[in-house]
A and B are shown apart, each in its own frame.
Chain A
């Protein structure tokens, strides 16, 4: 177990380094300098030179690369170029809790409602609940989250006036963004649970459990669900990633002051330190979630030995 964690930790560092390098190359491949147009003011050549030397942009790329790696390793990304009064860490510190709240709730809602929906569909196989649940799932998978978001705003904020259309000030503000983000992943999970549950229920060990006279509820919750969850856990990493990228768009639509907003803005304005900081932060977060998924997998399926070769 400890060896597994250590190996995974090294792999994480390596992955982050590759991502950092790619980000660096891509960042400098975007034409133009961040000082072409600073907050709407056109700067004199001398001022630009001055600023460039302050941010080390006048250095040759290899030197910039080393400075860049060092700042990543020490979490000192420095101040934003566009908003010099704030460091990148300030921006992350303000944006992340909001995005985290939105993303985590969306994931929780998606997983729980997906499992419940899929479970009922499987237990009432070919019944009314099954058809309703699977029709819902097809809609959920086919509607993009930004379309769903605008439909929700139109209906609940504009027409019915029951929910606020944007910003982030409390529970009622969270409902629509979470629904918009969670619906797609929920539908995917529901379909997965349904099909894996149907398969698990035909397994011999389910019949063994029935032969012990256990109640159908215990058989489903204890013997079937844990096995049926395995495929869901496999896609959980991907779903988490899609919710993460979904937050960029959803935060924009609902004017939520999360990290996604800074991330998109920073790319548009070539705010190198902010790009760097947010990218590395998102990457580390995702890699960490994939690690958690692997741990969950090992817990669900004891046949997967975390400390042995091949994962």
Chain B
């Protein structure tokens, strides 16, 4: 596949494994997606489906030596990241490609001032003067909604609340003006009102800077608020991908449908809520066929033995399910009436 000019990031056939006690964990198994300029791609899925591992792989932060990108390609602005030396990768990390981690309580170093943590990246990477970095850091704090920056720069992380710390982490990710930010569950550790504020902040930042984002979450509410496009992950694979509309109104994969059904809908009587039964498969020994097969109400014989290929539903909306195969037309009829 050749690079399309508006694609900032293109991931193809990504496989990541970890050596662990009892064998090898196949955490990510053939993931492919892309992110265009200025766009937000949400990656959703249950805990343990490989969302964080995917984002760490893109960032070049898979913990070595026990973790490894086994196969696949990650192209960022046309550069193949998997082929870069650690040194060359460091020039991209934090400058053009930034990451925001889940827990703002632990993501900041407790023994260094906010100022030191905010400015160190840009001073090291862009070789600008400390004074210039200092001014830029104060501007960034202002941008994420923290006034009185000069005083805050001297403070330590423990002097801030969780929401403020996440704002600082966001300022830190923005300081070198990256083209792509990966936010790994940036609101999970925060309480609900703060969550809404932080999501609003992302929206505002994107309008001001045009930065692209990968928003990793297991919360469909966050997807609804932030995403342009959505990738649904299950057991190390992307099972469905499409625009936000495609996913919310025309979900085609039984797992996506189950996720949507599992949301508590206040406008429906409570007996229509269907939790997803069962647990995801063991990633030490991934199933031969469709990984959702054990929990899928529509599983067929073929699902057990052959992995379903990604099939176009329409336009850019794809799903990996045998029900979408032409040969399953009759069954699909029954399912739709289910």
Contact residues of A with B, CB < 8 Å?
203-205, 207-215, 218, 222-223, 226-227, 300-303
Shortest CB-to-CB span from A186 to chain B, Å, is 24
Query: Which of under 10, 10 to 19, 20 to 34, or 35 or more describes the interface residues of B?
Result: 20 to 34
- Asked whether A213 and B124 contact (CB < 8 A) given A207-B61, A302-B158, the answer is yes
Whether the Cβ atoms of A205 and B121 lie closer than 8 Å is no
User: What is the minimal beta-carbon distance from B189 to any residue of chain A, in angstroms?
Assistant: 11
Q: What is the minimal beta-carbon distance from B98 to any residue of chain A, in angstroms?
A: 7
Contact in complex: B121, A303 (CB < 8 Å): no
CA–CA, A212 and B95, complex, Å:
7
A213 touching B92 by the CB < 8 A rule? yes
A210 touches B107 (CB 8 A): no
Q: Which residues of B contact A209 (CB under 8 A)?
A: 109
Chain B residue with minimal CB distance to A301?
B111
Known contacts: A204-B107, A207-B61. The answer to whether A213 contacts B99 by CB under 8 A is no
Taking the closest CB of chain B, its distance from the CB of A301, in whole angstroms, is 6
Expressed in whole angstroms, the minimum distance between the Cβ of B159 and any Cβ of chain A is 8
Q: Is A303 touching B158 in the complex (CB atoms < 8 A)? A: yes
Complex CA distance for A254 and B172, rounded to whole angstroms:
57
Tell me the complex Cα distance, A222–B92, Å.
21
Q: Offer 26 A-B interface pairs, CB within 8 angstroms, sorted by A.
A: A203-B106, A205-B107, A205-B108, A205-B109, A205-B110, A207-B61, A208-B108, A210-B61, A210-B93, A212-B93, A212-B124, A213-B91, A213-B93, A213-B95, A213-B124, A214-B121, A214-B124, A215-B124, A218-B120, A226-B111, A227-B110, A227-B111, A302-B113, A302-B156, A303-B110, A303-B158
Main secondary structure, interface of A, reads helix
A227 contacts across to B, CB distance below 8 A: 109-111
Q: How far is the CA of A301 from the CA of B113 in the complex (A)?
A: 11
The residue in chain B whose Cβ has the minimal distance to the Cβ of A208 is B107
Kindly identify which residue among B59, B90, B103, B111 contacts A302, using a CB–CB cutoff of 8 Å.
B111
Query: Are A223 and B112 in contact, with the CB atoms below 8 A?
Result: yes
- Is B101 part of the contact surface with A, judged by Cβ < 8 Å? yes
Is the CB–CB distance between A212 and B106 below 8 Å?
no
Q: Which residue from A208, A213, A300 sits with its C-beta under 8 Å from B169?
A: A208
Q: How far is the CB of A87 from chain B (nearest CB, A)?
A: 47
Q: Which residue of A lies closest to B108 (CB)?
A: A205
CB of B147 within 8 Å of the partner chain: no
B125 within 8 A of A: yes
| Alpha-carbon distance A223/B108, docked complex (angstroms) | 10
Query: Which of A211, A226, A300 has a CB less than 8 Å from the CB of B93?
Result: A211
Could you tell me the distance between the alpha carbons of A120 and B89 in the complex, rounded to whole angstroms?
A: 25
Is A213 in contact with B94, judged by CB distance below 8 angstroms?
A: yes
Q: A303 to B156, Cβ gap below 8 A?
A: yes
Which A residues touch B172, using CB under 8 A? 208, 212
